[in-house]
Chains A and B, each alone.
Chain A
Amino acid sequence: MSLPPQPAAPIEVLDSGTGLSIASPVSFEALQPGVEAVVSARHLTKVYGPLTALHDFTIDIPRGSIYGIIGPNGAGKSTAFSILATLLQPTAGAALVCGFDPTSNPKAVRKRMGYMPDVMGVYERLTVAEYLQFHAAAYRVPRSEWASLVPGLLELVDLDVKANSLVDRLSRGMKQRLSLARAMVHDPELLILDEPASGLDPRARIEFRQLLVALQEMGKTILISSHILAELQQMCSDIAVIEAGVLLASGSPDSIIHQLGNGRSVKVSFDDGTTETFSVTDTADQASLLRRLVNDDERTVVEFTELTTDLEGLFLQITQGIVQ
């Protein structure tokens, strides 16, 4: 495997806000010209013994986008997220998050990135406001800012009335929203959300989705994984499909559907009660198919319906349910 082009050597400077030694941001050459990527991964690979959890993973996540990563359980989503969130070292390849290498410069990344794991743990005997204050202190947010920061975040995630409630008494949906507020406590430019909607009821899911769209409108870049494909299709500007550690497709939902769905498919019902589905590339191909079936002497076409391909259909089409 050829190694990716390495970013230019970072220049050590001291951040005036935190006093942390950080490097100035760098970038890879964009996969798509003109797109400013907040996250760039080049040939990321993670191997655990005989298992390759992630293989040659290369993506660019444009600034201001909601980028969804979909894939079955064990596909490598969490591995990719863990590498980008400074938790895990890749076996090969490189990544830049907000212009910094998460492996060699994790603190610079953490300062600019908010991470929400799939399970939110809670502290006993701590109120919602204290929980956020604790994380604000852990992110070295100046105390003078807390008075406006904490109520503002709680209002954003619609938990302002729960400010003095104990965290462990919140419902799952509320905990998820609080976890999102925690990830935003230091006003990061990037949010990495691992299965944030798992276990939420339909109303909580819709509210959560609306919240993410609102955050996108505030200029945040959001990297999200989910099993709810329809949900991702509704809110994501870009999507990557991953299975068995391999990136199968990436791009906008419509472009992926068009690119991998080879245009469209049609369902045809015959007078003998049978139904068949045919793939067609374009309108001309569809017309050609119809003519051929109509001229078929053995069976008569009673219904000819064009099927719309959604993300779920596409997902089933391009993934094979491989479990590593």
Chain B
Amino acid sequence: MSAFAAAFQNLNPVFDRELRQRSRSGRSVILLSLLLTALTGILYVAHLAVTQESRNQFNGGQEMVTNTAGAVMFESVLFVELALLLLIIPGISSGAISGERDRQTLIPLQVTLLGRFGIFMGKVGASSSFVLLLIIASAPLLAIPYLLGGISLTRIMLGIVTTLLTGITYATLGVSCSAFFRRTQTATLMSYLIVFLAIFGSLVIWVVINIVRSAQGDFSPAPSWPMLINPFVGVADAAGDFTNDFSSFPGPFSGLKQGFFGDNWDGRIASNQPNWLYSLAVQITFTGAWVVLGLRKLRLPQKEID
């Protein structure tokens, strides 16, 4: 065993075992290949879109890209990557602990000296490692738009880091659901329900607030706080931009950022608040509550055998 592998095993045996088992399964490789293929496709489509846009602007002239082309491509790829992560992560993480229960391997693990934190963190680490793997594997795709210009390295890095943290947050949430709910199906269902509510529930609340305010004659921008729980809006604030370029359509994240965090009527004036940081804080706090609930279920001795 290499020193690297030994260090992993010393750090957390559950984490080490999960990675070992996963590396022997072809599933991760297939999933990763499919994801990267999809992201490459999105990058190509985004490139076609921005070049077509430039043709239209210059009346069918020479093919060229506008100064926001790189940003649009980057945001498109990152947007789809985040969407795919939120689609995949609950499926991967929500069986982490309930799956051990199903296989009758949890009790032998619980009577070791690992403790509930050790077991839980090992599972979170294993689920998060897939998020990290995907982000690292897709980094070259995200770097291509940088060559086209129109986007800063800082924005790219911030977008990648917030996507990574969002992914880890939802992986932790999935593991918590897995610890809290006895059955894997229930844990998976709840994980997807939470993701759905965070994305669309927050949007519905925001729209309702807007309608009520409009009915009251208030047409100023609605408060963006209901959207802070929304993973897309959080990443949008980090990866998007308040563009003043009327000649080009914004990327998906810039559109969201302008829509929810713009200060004037068309969102072209920036809010200087680090909303992505607030958004992460809200999501992590919400997940933290689930972590507490999940860890309570793992505490032994219990009053009743779960």
Chain B residue at minimal CB-CB distance from A111 = B113
Once bound together, how far apart are the Cα atoms of A125 and B303, in whole Å? 34
B113 touches A124 (CB 8 A): no
Q: Do the beta carbons of B10 and A87 come within 8 Å of each other?
A: no
* Residue B296 is within 8 A (CB to CB) of chain A in the complex: no
Stretch in contact with the other chain, from B13-21, B70-78, B133-141, B146-154: B13-21
**In chain B, what residue has the closest Cβ to A88?**
B301
Q: How far is the CA of A48 from the CA of B115 in the complex (A)?
A: 26
Is A86 an interface position by the 8 A CB rule?
yes
Contacts of B115 in A (CB 8 A): 107
CB-CB < 8 A to B10: which residues of A?
137, 143
Q: How far is the CA of A212 from the CA of B113 in the complex (A)?
A: 24
Partner of A121, one of B24, B104, B304: B104
The reply on B305 being an interface residue by CB < 8 A is yes
Whose C-beta in chain B lies nearest to the C-beta of A109? B111
Which residues of B are interface residues toward A (Cβ below 8 A)? 6, 9-10, 13-14, 16-17, 20-21, 24-25, 100, 103-115, 118, 300-305
Tell me if A89 counts as interface (CB < 8 A to partner B): yes
Tell which of A18, A117, A143 touches B113, judged by Cβ atoms closer than 8 Å: A18
CB-defined A-B contacts under 8 Å, sample of 24: A20-B113, A86-B111, A86-B301, A88-B301, A89-B303, A107-B113, A110-B111, A115-B108, A115-B111, A117-B104, A117-B107, A117-B108, A121-B100, A121-B108, A122-B103, A123-B103, A125-B24, A125-B25, A130-B17, A134-B16, A135-B108, A137-B10, A138-B114, A186-B113
- Does A246 count as interface, using CB distance less than 8 angstroms? no
Give the distance in Å from the alpha carbon of A271 to the alpha carbon of B300 in the complex.
Answer: 65
Interface string of A137-150 (1 = CB under 8 A from B): 11110010000000
Contact: B301 with A106, CB < 8 Å?
yes
Nearest B residue (CB) for A192: B111
- CB–CB A182/B108 < 8 A: yes
Convert A29-65 into 0s and 1s, putting 1 for each residue whose CB lies closer than 8 angstroms to a CB of B: 0000000000000000000100000000000000000
Interface membership of A85, Cβ < 8 A: yes
Asked if B104 and A123 sit within 8 Å, CB to CB, the answer is no
Query: What number of A-B contacts does a CB cutoff of 8 Å give?
Result: 95
When distances are taken between beta carbons in the complex, the residues of chain B under 8 Å from A247 are none
Q: Is A13 an interface residue (CB 8 A)?
A: no
The reply to whether B302 and A138 contact each other, CB–CB distance below 8 Å, is: no
Chain A residues within 8 Å of B112, by CB: 110, 135, 138-139
Q: Which chain A residues numbered 75 to 96 have a C-beta less than 8 Å away from chain B?
A: 82-83, 85-89
Given contact pairs A87-B107, A123-B17, A126-B17, A138 touches B301 in the complex (Cβ within 8 A): no
In the bound complex, CA of A146 to CA of B115 (Å): 21
Whether the Cβ atoms of B21 and A121 lie closer than 8 Å is no
B25, B113, B302 pick with most chain A CB within 10 angstroms = B113
Does A103 sit at the interface, judged by CB under 8 A? yes
B107 to A, closest residue via Cβ = A117
9 tightest A-B CB contacts, nearest first: A121-B104, A121-B105, A137-B13, A138-B112, A121-B103, A125-B24, A89-B301, A119-B104, A125-B21
Give me 9 other A-B pairs in contact (C-beta within 8 A), A134-B16, A139-B113 excluded.
A18-B113, A102-B301, A103-B301, A115-B111, A123-B21, A125-B24, A138-B13, A138-B14, A143-B6
B residues within 8 A CB of A113? Answer: 111
Q: Choose one: A48, A87, A122; the contact of B105 (CB below 8 Å).
A: A122
Tell me the bound Cα distance from A238 to B114 in angstroms: 33
Query: Bound complex: CA of A121 vs CA of B98, how far in Å?
Result: 13
Contact A126 B110 (CB under 8 A): no
Question: What's the minimum C-beta distance from A107 to chain B, rounded to whole angstroms?
Answer: 6
A106 to B113, CA, bound (A): 9
Is there contact, CB below 8 Å, between A87 and B305? yes
Contacts of A85 in B (CB 8 A): 111
A120 at interface by CB-CB < 8 Å: yes
